[in-house]
Chains A and B, each alone.
Chain A
């Protein structure tokens, strides 16, 4: 693990740094909506998962879904955050056709979850060393999602699908602790890993079930430290909010573009207008959505249809007791129990499915070897082919079988890669493939000696040369391996060659 170094952007007039806070909207995993009994299943026909409450029919009233509250508390506990036994729902008033009530029920003044903190593991994109940093969470609150306006079905009309209307969202707001595009992506990745591990959000970003708004500002080196000392935002630049990003790549691209845009304006003597901006992934740029002047006056006030939400401490403790192992705890265990590096432990613990896979491979076997094969060979292959771990052609048990053959010197690591490729092709278990193709490593020193003798006899010039330059022994190793079809045990080959050549 290396230290966190400032992410610096070189400008015409000097260096700049980035300051960001994120708002992540995570759809609560729940079969029913936040205030109605309607289903939340994705992909239903338009306007089929809509209750009278979701459509805001006259006289309809919201009733809180206890399970959604439980999920929010569970998430808060996963964020090591304060759970507020008293919270309250407010109405955020604005008109839009996909907002049937004319207001969104949200938690403005009193959120259910207060301050927390998570450790974020960063793997810089441009080859820097991996590191981790603490990111403070400001709050988490529950709110309703709106419906969906569909503008492209008809040139003159907008269609509205209310299936999402009233679905429960958790808005998770970070403090301005994020300092680079990679950190922003890593923060969202970490949050995603936590909510998936908790089972409180499925983390499906493609479906928009987890999406991020990023507040981006730039400042000169040193200013951020002054802000942290004083809490005075005047030390920081004016921020712009980049809305609704649902991929790690987009988040980084949008921030990189936005930082450049702001720096250019400032270096030209301009000032940043506080505004909301949208990222266009095709043009790779952000564009203004609405300025602060256009901002709605949401006229927040406590929703008189709902009582304040008061939860018992005993219930919170019950939920705490039922929490699964979280990514950070898992990473610590992997470091301790399997002697993995923090980085490998981080990669393997980030997602429960990967972690379970790894643990099955590593069980009773060499954990470092297992970690290397899982992260490098298997994940490398799956990533390249864009295959989900669940659909891996090589099971954990099969990969474990291969690792056993390496560990007991039946095959070399090099041969193992060949065997692995054949396993992917569906040739069967490692042991069968080794048997079938005669790939067993030759450890019989007699057989290797015979080959070595043959090669020494046939190449007197090289023998003379190797006495002068011992480094050329590699050529002999290559010849022996070639003659053995790669099956000779490399260590044995080395030892015998050294002895015979008198090195």
Chain B
């Protein structure tokens, strides 16, 4: 039997449409693969019965020549998305066995297009983390290993489950979400493609909130084209989200093959950081070369406030989180630890329900919003945010897209960075700027490190110009010819 799980989303959709195989067949293969890959800990809820029932429904439609754009395609869903009747906890103990009675807009859009749900994917608790080590269900293991080294590596975070599931062929593609790099960094760590669209492209309705002004849905997939297909289906204008943009979703799939001839690609000098590894630098130079050869004009640009981005991000995001997560008080749903009085119940519930990293960020967020500190921290961070946005606006006067590395390093082993929060936060140094400015950013695998691990390049586009990300991303993908897969060891 052919290994249908190895197909790209585009190829699988073609095969389903051509009735080369049924949705039940491919779904069953994924169900089996998931069962065999529990070591990776990518899925926190498996929904095989639901998946097969959805597959059968898709097959009935496909048989009649009907069906949506994703008809019959088995996908994994990050546990951040509320899914009706399927436990949703954002991988936090505080949500207990919470099972929504409602569906997030993004996942509803996927089901409306005929997608099949395989289950819920592991993630850092409330999407706070860059290594998936903060999940209530334990870390996800990266399918990739260093050459000649059997140590488990992190798939990155917070969408570590999504990235590992895609890299390990445990779904055709997955939903993910990105607040400071949570799509792009795990994609880079696992040799997959991930895009965070412009803020407001996809609805946040039914997504468990981390930092409202930064959170954005997006896909992780095997190819740039697959990301285009899935992102198109995820995005929509939603009256239930006041920050959702009332714009048409373009045909991004066709952008992937357009090439970069005549495009001006900006190279920000501030992203060349001290202590950045030589292999990352080399990869970046290689990316520049590929685009030049493909007919793009390379432009040196400056984003002068870049160095303030990470500190600003680690003020704004925790501030919003400290308020967004106040609703987890044990009063209406989720886990409750009863105390002798109301305060004791609050304290017990929140101390017991939130993990250490979440507690750290809630305390930081509470602190920076406190009377007497608000101006010095939160307000100043918001001003920095405006400056960062203006940097991009100015830079885009002279370029159409910006090329940077996705991360300062390849995947690391568990425990290597979890001892020092600041070192962990530095993972986001290249990705947070796009969140702060609300811009689209894609990560594309472009090569292997000396230790044999995938490395990613990031393309940042103008607001609403995901098309540029897909054009440049598509070109990088073709030039890199990245076909390496993790050896199946699990």
A residues touching B (Cβ–Cβ < 8 Å)? 52, 55-64, 91, 93, 95, 97, 100-103, 158, 160, 297, 299-301, 304-307
Contact = CB atoms under 8 A, between A and B. Distances in A.
Interface stretch (B16-24, B201-209, B298-306, B396-404): B201-209
Given A63-B240, A301-B369, A58 B320 contact: no
A64 B60 CA distance: 41
Given A95-B326, A299-B374, A306-B242, 17 more contacts: A52-B101, A56-B332, A58-B95, A59-B100, A59-B207, A64-B242, A93-B323, A95-B346, A102-B329, A103-B326, A297-B370, A299-B370, A304-B213, A304-B243, A305-B243, A307-B242, A307-B243
Nearest to A53: B240
Contact of A299 (B95, B102, B239, B323): B323
Interface in B75-109: 81-82, 88, 90, 95, 98, 100-102, 104
Contacts of B2: none
B208 A103 contact: no
19 contacts: A52-B101, A57-B333, A58-B327, A59-B82, A61-B204, A61-B240, A61-B241, A63-B241, A64-B242, A91-B323, A93-B326, A93-B369, A95-B326, A97-B329, A100-B327, A299-B369, A300-B369, A301-B319, A301-B369
Contact of B211 (A95, A158, A304, A307): A304
B205 A59 contact: yes
Closest 9 A-B residue pairs measured CB to CB?
Answer: A102-B326, A304-B212, A299-B369, A304-B213, A56-B327, A59-B206, A58-B208, A297-B371, A59-B82
B242 A61 contact: yes
A301 B241 CA distance: 19
Interface in B200-225: 204-209, 211-213
Nearest to B95: A58
Interface in B353-375: 366, 369-371, 374
B331 interface: yes
A304 B98 CA distance: 25
A102 to B, nearest CB: 2
Contacts of B333: 57-58
Given A55-B332, A101-B326, A299 B242 contact: no
A350 to B, nearest CB: 39
Interface centre among B95, B104, B320, B327 (most CB of A within 10 A): B327
A106 B154 CA distance: 42
Contacts of B95: 58
Interface size grouping (class) on chain B? 35 or more
Contacts of A52: 101-102
Contacts of B104: 59
Nearest to B81: A59
B378 interface: yes
Contacts, number: 96
A64 B102 CA distance: 21
A102 B366 CA distance: 13
A158 to B, nearest CB: 8
A305 B371 CA distance: 22
B342 interface: yes
A97 B206 CA distance: 22
Contact of B102 (A56, A57, A62, A297): A57
A490 B270 CA distance: 103
Contacts of A102: 323, 325-327, 329
A95 B329 contact: yes
A301 B374 contact: yes
Contacts of A91: 323
B98, B326, B366, B371 — which one has the most chain A CB atoms within 10 A of its CB?
A: B326
**Secondary structure type dominating chain A contacts:** loop
A61 B205 contact: yes
Secondary structure class of chain B's binding surface, majority of residues: loop
Given A299-B323, A301-B323, A58 B240 contact: no
B323 A103 contact: yes
A59 B370 CA distance: 25
Which of A58, A62, A299 has the most chain B CB atoms closer than 10 A to its own CB? A58
Contacts of A63: 239-242
B320 A304 contact: yes
B212 A305 contact: yes
A343 to B, nearest CB: 48
A306 B95 CA distance: 25
Contacts of B378: 301
Interface in B223-244: 239-243
A64 B133 CA distance: 38
A101 B324 CA distance: 8
A299 B325 CA distance: 14
Of the candidates A57, A64, A299, the one having the most CB atoms from chain B within 10 angstroms of its own CB is A299
Contacts of B213: 304
Interface string B241-266: 11100000000000000000000000
A59 B210 CA distance: 10
B156 to A, nearest CB: 23
Nearest to B204: A61
A160 B330 CA distance: 13
Nearest to A158: B342
B213 to A, nearest CB: 4
Contacts of A299: 322-323, 366, 369-371, 374
B92 to A, nearest CB: 10
A56 B331 CA distance: 11
Contacts of A58: 82, 88, 90, 95, 98, 100, 208-209, 327, 333
A330 B88 CA distance: 59
A108 to B, nearest CB: 11
A52 B105 CA distance: 14
A47 to B, nearest CB: 10
A404 B150 CA distance: 106
Nearest to B371: A297
A64 B211 CA distance: 20
A62 B325 CA distance: 15
Given A58-B327, A102-B327, A301-B374, A97 B212 contact: no
Contact of B242 (A95, A100, A101, A305): A305
B323 to A, nearest CB: 5
A245 to B, nearest CB: 26
Contacts of B327: 56, 58, 100-102
A59 B240 contact: no
A152 B77 CA distance: 45
A59 B331 contact: no
A300 B378 CA distance: 11
Contacts of A57: 100, 102, 332-333
Nearest to A162: B332
A160 B331 CA distance: 10
B2 to A, nearest CB: 38
B412 to A, nearest CB: 31
A300 B206 CA distance: 25
Contacts of A304: 211-213, 243, 320
Contacts of B81: 59
Question: Which residue among B81, B90, B323 has the maximum number of chain A CB atoms within 10 Å of its CB?
Answer: B323
A304 B369 CA distance: 14
B204 to A, nearest CB: 6
A97 B331 contact: yes
B45 to A, nearest CB: 15
Q: Among the interface residues A56, A57, A61, A307, which one has the most CB atoms of the partner chain B within 10 A?
A: A61
Contacts of A103: 323, 326
Nearest to A89: B242
A59 B238 CA distance: 14
A307 B241 CA distance: 10
B28 to A, nearest CB: 31
A59 B323 contact: no
Interface string B327-340: 10101110000000
A101 B327 CA distance: 5
B212 A100 contact: no
Contacts of B207: 59
B243 A100 contact: no
Contacts of A97: 329, 331, 342
